[in-house]
């Protein structure tokens, strides 16, 4: 068939498909429009076959390019996942996030050990020996931490709090600083896990040293009541970021039966789920740390109780959420198999 | 036919092969630099704008800093397919199966930028990019994404109308394609260039100059004409 006749025969189809791809307004479709929409998959297959035909018959380059463009746009439009953001968030929080964490619980405990191990060791050592903290943190920072949590001061919290700053400033600071740390812990995992291990270790040492030192100085009351509120979200989220980084490292070190790039891609999907979850938790932690932790309206006992409840909440969320969905999916898959 | 180029073909479920043109490190760096400039300017302007609001303003500025540091490329890639810098260079980010980029993939490839930049000037990213055929840095490898050239809107160029002439021999496919390509671009070529290109077929047509051009256009018309 000559090119001219081919074009004449099919032009209408191409134009209709082009029009359907261009008109993006998904709202308020009339019955007529819906009927036209229903033709899109059929039109797409037609355009694909026309493109293949035009290429095979060596029609003119711009005709082939035009059909290629139509087919590519059709492919992109038809094979896009469309999920309503509300249902995505619901599925993420109720099923995806806790399930992904449980599926890779080994990495969680490993990351946990890398953070908590050095923290405990340094905590105990700094509690016993007064000068040890100066070999971990420089003296000016130590002084500022001592000043911040001195029970003599009316307001506690990080130093900036002292200058009469508003909580919103601290909220912004915590978001930018803490989520940034979580992201870095994760991302550096792809470099053979060196970065992740380093950041977890470093943060553990730092936390432990400060906690042990302040407790030794009898500043424990102000320090522990301040951190009790947000610690559940913040520490867990940092461990989860580390866990996601370790998963990347594992894919690079031991890709199993896959190519390294393929193994990375498989694990990347799950790792990013964990990182998104960790980011959300750190946002919550920033709220608590900025608006609740420094408050002097409630007694320390109340803060401890609230902190304990939040820990209980986090633990039960990760151990229980999404189990029913997992069970029903497994059973439906089993039925499918039968 | 094996070609040495940056076209990456992929097959759709319908069994046709579509082609993506992969972008290399140079245009991508240029796009990144443009984005960096935009980000710095926005941060600076925001800094000036929020100073009057003291502590509250500082808090908002920190939030903005976080968004611009980490989420600027993600927001643009998901909603537009390209950041302003990539737009300036005509680049587009998509999944390697040809579909538009999703939230998790974009977030993954942009968070891993932190590793790709290491130890400075995208050292790791550049090495990774040169070690695979799709110019993927680590973030692209993990997220399964590609940076491609966005094709301009394809405009059909009409073949100038001429009396169809039956060619003296039957053309092979590359020649046929070359003649059609020439005819379509004829209007855009200068007169001299047009004559020069058609001159390649002088031996076959036995004509020269403008007459030769018309002869070749006649062949092109014969190739497409429905008679």
Q: What is the pLDDT of residues A50-62, one digit of tens each?
A: 999 998 888 888 8
Q: Is A274 on the interface with B (CB under 8 A)?
A: no
Confidence class for position B118, pLDDT limits 50, 70, 90 = confident
Chain B residue closest to A187 (CA)? B112
How many other CB atoms are found less than 10 A from the CB of residue A58?
Answer: 18
CA distance A318 to A101: 8
User: Shortest Cα distance from B215 to chain A (angstroms)?
Assistant: 18
Question: Is the CB of residue A45 less than 8 Å from the CB of residue A17?
Answer: no
Residue A164: list chain B partners with CB under 8 A: 55
**Residue scoring higher pLDDT (B54 or B46):** B46
Question: Is the CB of residue A120 less than 8 Å from the CB of residue B141?
Answer: no
Sorted by sequence, the CB contacts under 8 Å of residue A147 that are 6+ apart come out as A153, A159, A162
pLDDT digits (tens, 9 = 90+) for B143-161: 999 999 987 777 777 888 8
The DSSP secondary-structure symbol of A58 reads: T
pLDDT digits (tens, 9 = 90+) for B168-203: 888 888 888 889 989 988 888 888 898 888 888 888
Q: Is A80 on the interface with B (CB under 8 A)?
A: yes
Helices (H), chain B: 25-50, 54-66, 72-80, 84-89, 103-111, 113-117, 123-130, 138-143, 173-185, 191-198, 202-205, 209-224
Q: Which helix (H) or strand (E) holds A312?
A: helix A300-320
CA distance B19 to A140: 60
Chain A interface disruption, residue of B9, B97, B102, B226, most A CBs within 10 A: B226
Chain centroid to Cα B149, Å, comes to 1
CA distance A301 to A307: 10
φ, ψ of residue B46 to 5 degrees: the values are -65, -40
Residue linked to tokens 């039109």: A43
What ipTM, to 2 d.p.?
A: 0.88
CB contact under 8 A, B69 and A180: yes
Sorted by sequence, the CB contacts under 8 Å of residue A197 that are 6+ apart come out as A114, A246
Say which of B113, B124, B225 has its CB closest to residue A4: B225
């Amino acid at each position: 068939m000559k090119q001219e006749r081919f074009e004449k025969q099919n032009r209408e189809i191409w134009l209709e498909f082009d029009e359907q791809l261009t008109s993006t307004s998904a709202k308020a479709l009339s019955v007529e429009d819906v009927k036209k929409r229903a033709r899109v998959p059929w039109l797409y297959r037609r355009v694909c076959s026309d493109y293949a035909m035009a290429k095979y018959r060596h029609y003119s380059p711009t005709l082939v390019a035009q059909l290629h463009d139509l087919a590519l746009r059709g492919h992109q439009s038809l094979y896009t996942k469309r999920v309503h953001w509300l249902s995505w968030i619901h599925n993420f929080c109720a099923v995806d996030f806790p399930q992904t964490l449980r599926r890779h619980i080994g990495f969680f405990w490993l990351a946990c050990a890398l953070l908590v191990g050095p923290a405990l060791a340094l905590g105990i050592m700094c509690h016993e020996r007064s000068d040890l903290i100066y070999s971990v943190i420089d003296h000016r920072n130590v002084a500022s931490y001592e000043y911040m949590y001195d029970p003599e001061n009316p307001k506690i919290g990080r130093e900036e709090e002292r200058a009469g700053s508003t909580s919103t400033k601290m909220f912004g600071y915590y978001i930018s600083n803490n989520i940034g740390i979580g992201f870095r812990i994760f991302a550096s995992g792809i470099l053979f896990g060196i970065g992740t291990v380093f950041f977890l270790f470093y943060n553990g040492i730092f936390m432990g040293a400060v906690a042990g030192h302040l407790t030794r100085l009898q500043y424990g009351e102000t320090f522990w009541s301040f951190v009790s509120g947000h610690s559940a979200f913040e520490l867990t989220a940092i461990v989860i970021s580390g866990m996601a980084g370790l998963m990347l490292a594992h894919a690079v070190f031991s890709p199993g039966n896959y190519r390294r790039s393929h193994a990375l891609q498989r694990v990347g999907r799950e790792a990013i789920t964990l990182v998104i979850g960790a980011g959300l938790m750190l946002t919550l932690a920033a709220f608590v740390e900025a608006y609740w932790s420094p408050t002097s309206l409630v007694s320390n006992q109340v803060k401890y109780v609230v902190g304990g409840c939040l820990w209980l909440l986090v633990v039960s969320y990760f151990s229980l959420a999404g189990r029913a969905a997992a069970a029903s999916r497994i059973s439906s898959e089993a039925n499918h198999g039968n | 036919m094996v070609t040495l180029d940056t076209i990456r073909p992929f097959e759709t479920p319908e069994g046709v092969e579509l082609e993506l043109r992969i972008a290399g490190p140079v245009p991508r760096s240029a796009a990144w630099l443009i984005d960096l400039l935009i980000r710095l300017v926005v941060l600076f302007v925001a800094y000036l704008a929020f100073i009057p609001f003291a502590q509250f303003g500082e808090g908002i500025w920190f939030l903005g800093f976080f968004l611009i540091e980490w989420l600027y490329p993600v927001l643009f890639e998901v909603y537009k397919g390209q950041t302003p810098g990539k737009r300036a260079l005509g680049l587009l980010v998509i999944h390697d199966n040809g579909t538009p980029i999703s939230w998790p993939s974009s977030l993954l490839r942009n968070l891993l930028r932190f590793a790709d930049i290491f130890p400075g000037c995208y050292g790791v990213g550049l090495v990774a990019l040169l070690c695979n055929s799709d110019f993927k840095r680590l973030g692209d490898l993990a997220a399964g994404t590609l940076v491609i050239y966005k094709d301009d809107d394809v405009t059909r160029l009409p073949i100038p109308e001429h009396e169809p002439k039956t060619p003296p021999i039957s053309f092979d496919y590359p020649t046929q394609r070359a003649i059609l390509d020439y005819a379509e671009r004829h209007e855009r070529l200068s007169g001299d260039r047009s004559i020069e290109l058609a001159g390649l077929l002088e031996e076959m047509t036995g004509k020269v100059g403008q007459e030769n051009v018309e002869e070749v256009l006649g062949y092109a018309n014969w190739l497409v004409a429905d008679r």
